[in-house]
Chains A and B, each alone.
Chain A
Amino acid sequence: EAGVVQSPRYKIIEKKQPVAFWCNPISGHNTLYWYRQNLGQGPELLIRYENEEAVDDSQLPKDRFSAERLKGVDSTLKIQPAELGDSAVYLCASSISGGAWETQYFGPGTRLLVL
């Protein structure tokens, strides 16, 4: 079974430029998460989707971040414009909803460096 796929793996941009990250979850997983992980920290949830619906985006900085999950499968996270403080690893995870708790499966992440 293929795992969560993310691209690109690395991205270097200058501040004020836009950037986008793509995620393909595990087949059949209807819940998708975007996390940001800063160096030396644990992952911080940005947004969670149940199918196409964003059910928790309370931590997403909406002035510059946007996300979409068309057709309830792939998802894209965008930053426009990027700031120096956005340098981090952006992780995508997926799970199957329905049980008391779902195990989240993570992709390898996209490492973003904003210069």
Chain B
Amino acid sequence: DQQVKQNSPSLSVQEGRISILNCDYTNSMFDYFLWYKKYPAEGPTFLISISSIKDKNEDGRFTVFLNKSAKHLSLHIVPSQPGDSAVYFCAAGNAGNNRKLIWGLGTSLAVNP
């Protein structure tokens, strides 16, 4: 049973436009959510996180929105750049549950010049 779901395996956007990556979760006990970016042949790189007590966190071009009632979070990248082309993973965890992260399957983002 996939507790963290990224239903879009891929996404393609034009440079300069907004990229929106979505993530749904089923476990209401998750209290921390993270986005990681992964380039080929590299390990995942931490991008941005959000705690369940917030509904938005912003860092430069990256903003994560959390809708707890819908058990949904999204990552917005504005403006998108070709260097943002990578696989984006959503991960969730609970601080009281051995801090184990549950990962989605990833969404491959292609930003076209």
Report A's interface with B, CB cutoff 8 A.
4, 40-45, 48, 55-56, 91, 93, 100-109
Give the contacting residue for B42; candidates A100, A102, A108; CB below 8 A.
A108
Contact A101 B95 (CB under 8 A): yes
Contact B43 A55 (CB under 8 A): no
Chain B residues in 8 Å Cβ range of A41: 103, 105-106
CA distance in complex: A43, B36 (Å): 11
Provide the bound-state CA to CA distance between A115 and B102, in Å.
29
Q: How many residues of B contact A (CB 8 A)?
A: 24
State whether B98 touches A55 (Cβ < 8 A).
yes
A interface, over-half SS: loop
> Is A56 a contact of B98 with CB atoms below 8 Å?
yes
Q: Does B12 contact A (CB under 8 A)?
A: no
With A42-B103, A42-B105: A103-B93 Cβ-Cβ less than 8 Å: no
A43-B44 CB under 8 A given contacts A101-B93, A101-B99: yes
**Nearest-neighbor residue (CB-CB) of B106 within chain A:** A42
Q: What residues of chain A lie closer than 8 Å to B100, measured between beta carbons?
A: 45, 48, 56
Binds A, one of B45-53, B59-67, B69-77: B45-53
